[in-house]
Structures are given as C-alpha cells and as structure tokens.
Chain A
Amino acid sequence: MIHAEIIRKEKLTPTVSTLYFHWNADVKPGQFVMVWAPGTGEIPMSLSHIGKEKAFTIKNYGPSSDMLIKLEPGQKIFFRGPYGRPFSAVNGKTLLIGGGSGMASLHPLISRNAFGLIAARTREEILFMDEFESGNVSVTTDDGTFGIRGNVLAGLKDLDVDSFDMIYACGPEVMLYNLYKHLKDKNVNAELSLERLMKCGIGVCDSCSINGFQLCRDGPTFTMDQLRYMNEFGTEKLTFSGTRVSVH
C-alpha cells in the first residue's frame, strides 16, 4: 500500500471534493488506483490530476468515500496502483463526454482542443465546466436546472460527432450503453471508460468482468470494436456476492 499526505482539499460541489497529494509516479489519463479507508473499505478511484501533483475527485456515495471525503490536509491517504489501461493519446480535436463523477477520469484530457459534454443530474453537480475553453463546453442536466434538459443523448443532438478525432467518455454504464448505441454505426473513434463493482483491482477476483475481460486490467477503457463483442455490456452484471442481475 502506498501512503501520502493530503496537501490540499478543494470542495467542487456539495457532494464532491478533490484531494491533492504528492506521488512520484507516471500515471496516464484514465488510470485508477484502489483507495483504502483503513477500517472501512477500499474503492477504485480515477485520478483526476496526474501531473507532479496528483488528486482524486471524490463523490460521497458510500462508507469508504464518506470517510475519504472527510480527510483534511495533513492526514494520510492509502492507495495502490496505478491500474488499468489508459485512454489512448491522440493529436487533434477531442470530445470528452462525462456523466456525473465520470468527469473525474476525463479531467486530465481537458485541453484547448477538447470539447466537453458534461451530463449531470442537477446544476450544482456539474463538474469542471469552467476548465474548458469558452464556447467549448455543453451541459445537460436531468432536471433542466442548467443547460440542455435531458440526458447525454440530448446533448449530442447539436454536435457533429464525426468532426472529432477521438471521443472519450466516462460515466454510469447505462449512460455509456446509450452512447455506444448512438455511436456504433457512425464513423467515429471512441473509447469508453466503464465503471463496475471492483474488489481486487488486479485481475483476479472476476467481480468487474464483462464477457471475460477484466475491467480493472483489460480496461477500464474499451474501444467501440471491443464493446461490439460484449453482450454483457449494458445488459447484465454481477453483484457483490456474484449474483447475475440486470444493469438497468
């Protein structure tokens, strides 16, 4: 287990904070770490900042994230990694599509050439909107409190997806599956970073697998061509005990 001291904390929304720390490691966009809340649990988390200063952007959603989000500068964090196949780097125009806290793993890809499509439940949960060049971002909210009312597909209506050299997306599986269906017959390059229950992070426990591919090791980023052969994607998954259930 690696340990580091939190050097800074930034509250982004009522339920999301970024914790900064020093970690001398080469991390690529889309990679993740397993973060340990001693005595509480361990959860996978994308790194939202991967420069000399690293950071996780944490949403409060369960016992471990509740404990982690309460940590303050000076306190220790524990983690292992980096794990997973990163997004592939491209030159040219990119489209970043993030749903909810999925924006955290896309954050390192924000650049002058990137256009952002941010999907959030409501206005106060929108992440990283101001980090895009002005005019290079579009927002959807489920409740219509900001931007376009509706889900990510509503936001795609006004975008010419063919004009981007690469589309990167991260978010809940149902959102990504809808996005996949929208894109699959179009001539686009896209990589989708999937989120699934993960226990080990190192390709042995089978909790996060989709059609025999381990999200933690073969993914979490998958190309459109890989997703085409995964009939479990967007349809079925295993619970914490290993019970097969619908993704919806």
Chain B
Amino acid sequence: MPKGSLISDIGSMQLESPLILASGILDENGYTMRRMLEEGAAAVVTKSIGSTERAGFTPPVVVDLGDNLLNAIGLSNPGIEHFKEEISIAKGIGKPVIGSIFGATAEEFAYLASRMQSYGADAVELNLSCPHVKGFGSEVGSDPSLVEDIVSEVKAKINVPVLAKLTPNVTDIVSIAKAAEKADALVLINTVKAMHIDIYARMPTLSNAYGGLSGPAIKPIGVRAVYDVYRETEMDIIGCGGISRFEDVLEYMMAGARAVEIGTALKTYGRAIFDNIKRDTIRFLESEGIENIEEIIGAAVKK
C-alpha cells in the first residue's frame, strides 16, 4: 500500500478511500449517484428501497437547522422492481454501489437483498434504523431477535457483503450489534428521532411531526456508539453521523470505524466534500507520520 494511501475495504468490497455517500441523501436517481462517485465518493449507498412503491410523506419533509437537518421523507421509493435501472446507471462508472433496503420481516429483507444483488449491487445495507416510519426501520431494528433473524436470512441468500445500519434510539446499542453479528459490517448510526415546532404556526413543522436529526449535532452520539460496539465486538464498523471534516473521519476511525458514511454535510459543503476530506486526511496522516490508515482504527479504544 503506498504511503498515505486511504484504500479501505469492507468484507470483499474494496474502497479507494473510507468515504461513502450515506443512504437518503442524493441517492434516488442513478445519475446523481454516478455524479457523487465521479466527484469523489468511494462508494454510494442508495436510498432505502422496499418491496412496493411508496410515496412517502407530504412536504415539509425537511427542517433546515443550519449545519444540521431534521427529515422525515417517509421511505419514499419506487419499489424494488423499478430500481434496477437506477443501479445500472450509477454503476456506469465502475465504483461500488451499495443497495439499501427496508422491510418488515426477515423474508422481505431476504427477497429485497437478493434482488439488489441481482441488479449488481456490490453490497447490501439493511435499514434497521429509520426513526420515523411505523412498522419499519427502528421499530424492526430495536428488537434483537428480529434483527438476528433478518441478518441470518439475508446472509443465507446473498454473497455480497451485508451491512446492518443500526439506530441510536435504543437503550443498549451493543446488544443490537451483537444480534447482528453475522453481518459483514455494522453502520453506526442512523438519525436520532427528533421534532421541531413552528411557534407561529403552533404545530410541528414536519408533516409527519417526528423526524430524524442528522448533522454535526449527532456526531458525539455516533462516535460513542462506534466506540462501545468496537470495544465489545470484533465486527467491522462503518461510522456515520455528523461527518463534515477530516477531523470527524479520524475521530470515528479512532473509535473503531474502518470507513465512514457522509450525508448531511453535502447540504453545507456540496459535492466537493469528498475530495476535500480526502486531501486533508492524507495531509494529517503524513504530518503525523502514519504509514497506513489501518493503524488508527480503534486507536482511541481501550479493549
């Protein structure tokens, strides 16, 4: 590996850097995902896709909180049958595309995962953590035995790496992580369940009332979750939540993450964020005399 290289891997998936586009941000249209890859993302995670078409919630679906963001898009998606073309378009550039899926049962997840694999997805991310839709996401992902069933079923059906994205909206994330131990990697964390009220309208701003908070405000929660799970398990971890600068990437990696997902920061910094963080991270490694980025994974954790 060349000095200052950022090459990373998750299971059998090779990444040119640890910087992945997170699910839910700019990843509904294949051409957009392709542009993200062209402009520096090492991989993209698609919007979460379910078995059937789903409109999602009526706007307002976001509340702009400066660098932070509250959203309740409502798992809007075209349904797995209509998603093949977007994957093909995104894959045109030859970098990894990770298919995110959501369902209510282990069988549904397994079906969606095998479709994603057949479309050419390089890995599958299980959305066990969306905080704002009844019957899906964190409702599924808060039940350790259901999480274990889902991961087992999916692992039995596909060969590409399986990533389990977990919710921070639980008392003990380590027990959920252990339930998902058959996954090739964990993604920690999804958004934090939250709300915003407009005081002049005297009602919640989001049409769904509840949403998920993302951005720098939740980074310390994400870093803590990665640290806890890294200390208690041997699993590969992808850090997610509030990453907008190279310092954030390193903080997550020192807590135990092998790679990171970036989403909300695109709002503030635009598509150039991937190349900017890459450049700054390489500079940091050089100035600190770190030959291999793997050296820093978990560096801050006392096992």
Interface residues of A (CB under 8 A from B): 1, 3, 34, 36, 38-43, 76, 78, 80, 199-207, 209-214, 217, 232, 238-244
Q: Is the CB of A42 within 8 A of B59?
A: yes
A203, B266: Cβ atoms closer than 8 Å: yes
Residue B198 CB within 8 A of the other chain: yes
B31–A212 touching, CB < 8 Å: yes
**5 nearest CB pairs, A to B:** A212-B35, A243-B78, A42-B59, A206-B28, A38-B201
User: How many A-B contacts if CB must be within 8 Å?
Assistant: 120
Binding site for A on B (CB under 8 A): 25-29, 31-32, 34-36, 38, 47, 53-56, 58-62, 64, 69, 71, 73, 76-79, 82, 85-86, 198, 200-201, 203, 205, 207, 263-264, 266-267, 270
Give every chain A residue within 8 A of B82 (Cβ-Cβ).
243-244
Contacting residues, chain A, for B36 (C-beta < 8 A):
212
Having A205-B73, A242-B77, one finds 5 other A-B pairs with CB under 8 Å, namely A42-B59, A202-B64, A204-B25, A211-B31, A213-B35
Q: Which secondary structure characterizes the binding site on chain A?
A: loop
B198–A78 CB distance below 8 A: yes
Give A204 to B71 CA distance when docked, in angstroms.
10
Residue in A closest to B78 when the chains form the complex, CB atoms: A243
Residues of A within 8 A of B29 (CB): 206, 209, 212, 238, 242, 244
CB-defined contacts of A78 to chain B, threshold 8 Å? 198, 200-201
Bound Cα distance from A213 to B34, whole angstroms: 11
Q: What are 14 A-B interface contacts by the 8 Å CB criterion?
A: A80-B64, A199-B61, A200-B61, A201-B62, A203-B270, A204-B71, A209-B28, A213-B35, A238-B28, A240-B55, A240-B56, A242-B47, A243-B82, A244-B86
A204 CA / B38 CA spacing, docked (Å): 17
Distance A243 CA – B28 CA, assembled complex (angstroms) = 9
Complex alpha-carbon distance, A38 and B200, angstroms: 10
Q: Which of A206, A240, A244 contacts B47 (CB 8 A)?
A: A206
Residue of A nearest to B69 (CB): A204
B78–A241 touching, CB < 8 Å? yes
Among A201, A209, A244, point to the contact of B85 (Cβ < 8 A).
A244
